[in-house]
Structure formats: C-alpha cells, structure tokens
C-alpha cells in the first residue's frame, strides 16, 4: 500500500481541480440517496411533528386562557352579587326607616286625634250637664223665688201671667249675671 501511494504520488497525479469521474458518480449517488431518504421521507415527518407540537403548545395556552377567563367571570359575578346584596340591604334599611317614621307619625296623629276627641267629648258632656243644671236650676230658682216672694209680700200673686213675667225678668237678670260668672 505504501509503495502504491508512492507510485501514485510520483506519477504526478491529476490537478486537484479536475474531478474524478467515479467520484462524481458516487457523490451524486450519495446526494440523491440522502435527498430521497432525509429530504423526501424524513423531513415531512418531522415537519408534521413540529406542527403538532406548535398546535399542542398553542392549544395549552388557549386552554389556560379559557380557564382564566372563566375564573374572571366567576369573580365578576360574585362581585356583582355582593354589590347587589349590599344595595338591597341598604334599600331595606332605608325602607324600614321610612316605614318607622311613617308609623311614628301616624301614631302621633292618631293619639292627637284621640286626645282631641276626648277633650271634645268632655266639653260636650260638660256643656250638656251645665245645660241640664241650668234648666233644673231655673225651675228651682223660679219656684224658690215665687215662694220667697209670696212669703215676703204675704200675698199671693193673683195674676198668673204677671207672676210669670216677673219671674222671667228676674231670671234673665240672674242669667246675665250668672253666665258672666260661669265664663
């Protein structure tokens, strides 16, 4: 082998820029075999896998996004419910206060009306009693006065009509002074 190499070297071999025909054939063969196996068969496979991987990663991201959205929505709805409840409570409180005030006012009014009614009743009763008392008094006083006058004068007043007039006059005078006294 060594001698062969020396021989080849001594023969002053080809220029390095001139291709050997059989190497062209072998190189072309090697290239096209690699091109067929790697380029035509294997590259589509890895491209498919890479595409699937991208899909998987993007799908995962999308799912995470969805979950986050869901959580956000839930939180939002909780917040809304809470706000609504607060609002409702405030409304109820306000309503109760209003109702309370109204009830108080009504009660007060009722009590006042009752009081007024009682007072009026009392007034009326008093008035009636006074009237009655007056009527009785008038009759009593008339009789007493006649008796008194008859007794004082010693004579019976013959004329009924005159007697009546005298009594009435007397009474009116009396009444005028009496009502003034009552007032």
Partner 1 sequence: MSTLTLLASGDEFKAPGLELFEFPPIISGVPWFTKPVLVALLSTLIVLIFCWSAFAKPKLVPRGVQNVAEMGYMFIRDQVARPFLGKDADRWMGLLLSLFFLIWVWNLMGVVPGIQFPVVSHIAFPFVLAASIYVLKLYLGFKHQGFFGYFKNMMFPPGLPKPIYVLLAPIEFLSNMIVAPFTHAVRLFANMFAGHIILAFFSLVGFWFLFENLTPLGAPLGVLGVVMTIGMTLFEMFIQFLQAFLFAMLAAMYIGNSLHPEH
Binding site for partner 1 (CB under 8 A): 1-2, 4-9, 13, 16-28, 30-31, 33-35, 37-40, 42-50, 52-53, 56
CA 69, CA 75: separation in Å to the nearest integer?
A: 10
CA 133 to chain centre: 65
Find out whether 134 and 140 touch, Cβ atoms under 8 Å: no
Cβ at position 65, least distance to partner 1 in Å: 21
Beta carbon nearer to partner 1, 49 or 102: 49
Beta carbon nearer to partner 1, 28 or 150: 28
Cβ at position 32, least distance to partner 1 in Å: 8
Question: For residue 159, what are the CA distances in angstroms to 59, 79, 151, 166?
Answer: 134, 106, 16, 11
Question: For residue 94, what are the CA distances in angstroms to 84, 90, 99, 144?
Answer: 15, 6, 8, 73
Beta carbon nearer to partner 1, 45 or 151: 45
Beta carbon nearer to partner 1, 38 or 144: 38
Cβ at position 68, least distance to partner 1 in Å: 24
Cβ at position 55, least distance to partner 1 in Å: 10
Closest listed residue to residue 167, CA positions, set 138, 132, 130, 131: 138
Cβ at position 58, least distance to partner 1 in Å: 13
Beta carbon nearer to partner 1, 16 or 154: 16
Beta carbons within 10 angstroms of residue 55's beta carbon: 10
């Amino acid at each position: 082998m060594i001698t062969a190499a020396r021989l080849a070297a001594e023969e002053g071999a080809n220029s390095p820029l001139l291709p050997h025909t059989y190497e062209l054939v072998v190189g072309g063969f090697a290239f096209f075999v690699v091109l067929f196996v790697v380029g035509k068969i294997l590259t589509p496979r890895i491209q498919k896998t890479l595409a699937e991987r991208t899909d998987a990663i993007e799908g995962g991201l999308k799912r995470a996004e969805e979950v986050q959205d869901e959580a956000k929505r839930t939180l939002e709805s909780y917040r809304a419910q809470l706000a609504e409840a607060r609002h409702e409570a405030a409304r109820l409180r306000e309503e109760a206060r209003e109702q309370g005030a109204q009830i108080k006012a009504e009660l007060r009014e009722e009590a006042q009306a009752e009081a007024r009614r009682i007072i009026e009743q009392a007034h009326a009763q008093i008035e009636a009693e006074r009237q009655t008392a007056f009527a009785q008094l008038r009759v009593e006083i008339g009789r007493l006065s006649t008796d008194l006058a008859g007794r004082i004068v010693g004579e019976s007043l013959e004329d009924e009509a005159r007697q009546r007039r005298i009594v009435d006059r007397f009474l009116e005078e009396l009444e005028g002074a009496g009502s003034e006294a009552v007032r």
